[in-house]
Amino acid sequence: WFFQLGSVSPLLVQANHTSALGHIENVNFTMSPTSMSMGCHVEGSSVSAFWYSLFDNGTNYCNLHNVITGSGLSKVSGFEEFTNEWFCLGIGASSC
């Protein structure tokens, strides 16, 4: 699998992720200020081109999760991840 980086600005990073099966998912990371000083809020969104990917076993979740862990961001002190099955259907079945 690989990511193709699209437009990058200080507030929005866009990319496409292509899976081993050749499925393409559209991925965004949106940065926004927080009320916490020295804090940073990043919202990740990954959407498949195929409707049946609703039952994707966490593929879209892993697209985002792997970038965050791969970049080392998840090891930074104070790091918190917030998601659940409602935001991210299939997360319970994911194994990234």
Give the shortest CB-35-to-ligand NAG separation in angstroms.
24
Residues 6, 49: Cα–Cα separation, whole Å: 16
Give least dist CB 58 to ligand NAG, A.
9
* Alpha-carbon distances of 70 from 43, 62, 66, rounded to whole Å: 17, 11, 6
Query: Which residue lies nearer to ligand NAG by CB, 16 or 69?
Result: 16
Residue with smallest beta-carbon separation from ligand NAG = 6
Rg (the chain; Cα; Å): 14
CB of 67 to ligand NAG, least distance (A): 13
